[in-house]
Each structure stands twice: as structure tokens, then as C-alpha cells.
Amino acid sequence: MENYLELLDRANDGTYISEENWDLEKISATARRLVKKYHLEWDRSQIISHDPALADALFQAGFEMAVELGAYCRSTERIIKLRQDEIEDGLKSMRQSLVMGEGKDARTLVARRLGDDHPPLFFGGTPGTAVPERFFLANVISNVQEPLIDLATCGTLTEVDGRTVRTGHPMEIVATRRELEYMRTAIRQVGRPGMGMLAAQSSVSELGDLAAAQERYLRPCDSHLVPMLNELKMDFRNISRAVNSLEYGMINASLACVIVGGLGGGPAGSAVVNVASFIVANLTCLADYHILHPIHVRHAATSTREVLWVISSVGQAFARNAPAIIVADIYPKSGAGTKELLYEVAANAIVNSVSASHLEGCGSANGTLPNCSGLEARLMAEVGLAVFRMKMTLKEANDWALKLLLHYEHIFTQADGNPGLPFDQVYDVQQVQPLDFWQKMYAEVKTELKSEGLLL
């Protein structure tokens, strides 16, 4: 699309449809038809498919959905129609490399292929998680001080100086800027001032995003989120995030949290919606890279069998047909201070690394509680790099995923969901180091993984 303002015209002038009809007549019906047309199926024992024909068929189905549907603007209840030639140009123009950060701390993200010679990079932090201000800085430091972490991300501030942050309220501006102050302080304190960031997570509306677009907060070498709403939807608030980047130059990370078991149906239909979302986001979100973050309809976690299959299948579909820079979120069900969290992280890291994605995490305890720390981010990076060094095959990775599921799958039937403990109960907040019991638990799981053959 030569002029992004054209998208605003289409959002105003496109065909009217109610949101309910978009959901049912467009998303659900189209997903069901394409799953049947392309014979897309998943097998509970095949977490990571090693069938190239399946990955190719999934990509074609997602492409067809993108061409047929375009996107929906909730603000005007209009369809944003995208021409096939525009969609094809968007795919051809996807970034194949991207530098984030500056100076000695800069890192280059690349569009990875299956069996790539480029190792995955790692974003360390607690994306989307509400973290209390009293230990927000320490929580960020616990991640960015880890030597294997390449880039920084963070949780959200829902209260500042004891005051509640509300969406669209002036306090959202205060919270987003405060978050960025903590982020910049953290990377300076650990001696990595040029580290690239995916931040402004406290910005729920466009207010905080607009307020943070200045060198003191988000630099042009940093990135921010341009979300796509469920499913294949935009609104003026999120379109404003893309518009905000036009002249300032921030890096745009598209975010589509496709709900597995939602409008797209089961894993196969949800994967089609996810592929279509990335293809559409190239234009609607002006995406420089994509965040791969499907979530389970009941558990939210990325570590269920269904979601792991979607993650791997989408990563493989793009790696084979239209390589893009994809960063996969890790959202375990379990929280810090539990062994299950570490097994979930290991499973996610294996699936994502072998499926050509970079990694971001961890939003432990479903990202709903501040029960998260830098120790699981360390394991995420260690396991992801082990997969790369071992040149693990898709079939071998599937065997690992099935083995790890035995260690944690029981938590999905637990009433409490295995939330673990808050950051300040697993780390010494002053020294920003894991408490002995948490360090010991990590060491035990790591020893076990090594004894099973993982080259950590």
C-alpha cells in the first residue's frame, strides 16, 4: 500500500457489517471451509508436524483467508478490503533482517528458516504481566542481566505511586512513561544501555504509546506493539499506533492473540486465522516483525498441546513459504517457584526454536500474576540455543515435547492452575538474585534435561 492513509479511507468507506456477523459469517465460516478444503488436521501425538505438505497447505489457506476477508474496523463497522496484489507486495516486502538497539548492545533479528544457520534471539521479560511498582525495576533487571538475553521486554504498571491506572485516562500516560524510565534504568544498571526493547506495555490505548514516542523513552531503535484484535480486527486506537510510527520511526511489532478453540475453531482453523493475521498485519499494522502468541480458549497458556501445534505449524508455514521475522511469546500456565513452570518453558523453547521463531518470555502464570522472574528466561534461552546447537530435527523436537508434557500437563486440570509465587518470594529483590530454593529447583530440572540428552 503506497499510502497508509488509504487504509483509513477504506476503514471509513468499506462495506458495512456488524461485528457479530463478521465473527460468524466471515471468520468462523471461512475457517471451517478452508480447513476442509485444504484437508488440515492435527494429531494430539504430533505436537510438531514434520509434514512439509501440511505447512504449505496451511500457508495457502491463510493467504486465501487474507485475500478474501481483509480486516475489520471495529470503530466504523466497516471491512478494510485489501487487494491480492497489495497482499502479495506486503509478503515480498517483509523484513528479512532488523537491527534493534544501538552500539555494542545492538542485535540483528533475521527471518529464520527451518534448520537455519542463525540462532534464535531472546527477549527477556514478563510481557503483558501486571507487575507491582515496588519491584518492577528489580523484575526487569532479573531478566536483562542474564547474559543470554539479547533484548528487553517487560510487564505492565497497573498502579503508579499508589494510584490505579485506567485505560484512556491521563494516568496511562504517566504509567507508560514510568515503565520506560524503569526499563532505561535497568539496562543502564546492568551495563547494557544500548539494548533494544519491546516496551510501552503499559499502554492499553493509544495514549501511552503516543506519550512514549520520544528519545527519552522509546528510541527509534526500539519497538512497540501494534495489536490486531480477535480475530482480524483493528480499531482507530490501534491504527493510531501504526500512524504514530510513520514519521518517528519506531519499529512495529504486530500482535495477534488468536484464540485456539475460539472463532477459528480447533487448532487447524486457528492456525489458518493466525497465518492470515500475519499476512494482513503486514499492511494494517505496518509490521516490521510479528509476535506469535496464540492462546488457549480456557487456559490462556501457550504450553497446551493444541497451542504448541499452532505455534509450530505457523512458524513452519512462514519459514517454508514466506520467511518473516517471527518472535514467539512464551506464556506458561505455572508460576515462578514451581518445577512445572520450568518444564513448560523448556517445551515452548524447543517448539519455537526448531520451528524458526525467535523467543520472548516469560509471561508465567498465564501473564495474570506477577509470579515471574528472570530465572525462567535464562532457561528459555539455554534450551533454545541447545536446540540450535544440536541441529534438532522436527521429529526429535516432537519427541521432546511429548516427554515434557508428561511433567506438566496435569496442571491444566488443577483447580488453582499452579500459580506459584510472586517475584519477591522467589528472588532477593535487593540483590536481584534467585532465592536458594528457586535456584536449586532450576538446577535440578536443568540436570534432568541434560541427563535426557539435551546439550545444555
Q: pLDDT tens, 169-228?
A: 999 999 999 999 999 999 999 999 999 999 999 988 899 999 999 999 999 999 999 999
Question: CA 280, CA 251: separation in Å to the nearest integer?
Answer: 17
CA dihedral sign of residues 126, 128, 129, 134: positive
Strands 107-110 and 97-100: antiparallel
* pLDDT for the residue numbered 247: 84
> Residue 59's closest CA among 312, 324, 322, 352?
322
Question: CA 94, CA 166: separation in Å to the nearest integer?
Answer: 35
443 by Cβ neighbours in 10 Å (0-12 / 13-18 / 19+) ranks as exposed
What residues contact residue 141 under an 8 Å CB cut-off, 6+ apart?
186, 189, 190, 374, 432
Contact assessment for residue 355 and residue 320, using Cβ atoms and an 8 Å cutoff: no
Residues of the chain with pLDDT under 50: none
* pLDDT for the residue numbered 3: 87
At which residue does the C-alpha cell 527471518 appear?
A: 111
Q: How far is CA 22 from the centre of its chain?
A: 25
Contact assessment for residue 455 and residue 385, using Cβ atoms and an 8 Å cutoff: no
Question: CA 183, CA 169: separation in Å to the nearest integer?
Answer: 22
* pLDDT for the residue numbered 205: 87
Contact assessment for residue 318 and residue 356, using Cβ atoms and an 8 Å cutoff: yes
Q: What is the radius of gyration, based on Cα positions, of the chain? A: 20
Contact assessment for residue 182 and residue 136, using Cβ atoms and an 8 Å cutoff: yes
- Residues forming beta bridges with residue 329, ordered by sequence position: 360
DSSP H helices, 390-435, are 394-408
Structural domains of the chain, with CATH: 97-451 (3.20.20.460)
Residues 241-247: contacts with CB within 8 Å, 24+ apart?
241/206, 241/209, 242/4, 242/284, 242/285, 242/286, 243/4, 244/206, 244/209, 244/210, 244/213, 245/213, 245/286, 246/4, 246/286
Contact assessment for residue 386 and residue 312, using Cβ atoms and an 8 Å cutoff: no
At which residue does the C-alpha cell 504450553 appear?
A: 303
* pLDDT for the residue numbered 204: 86
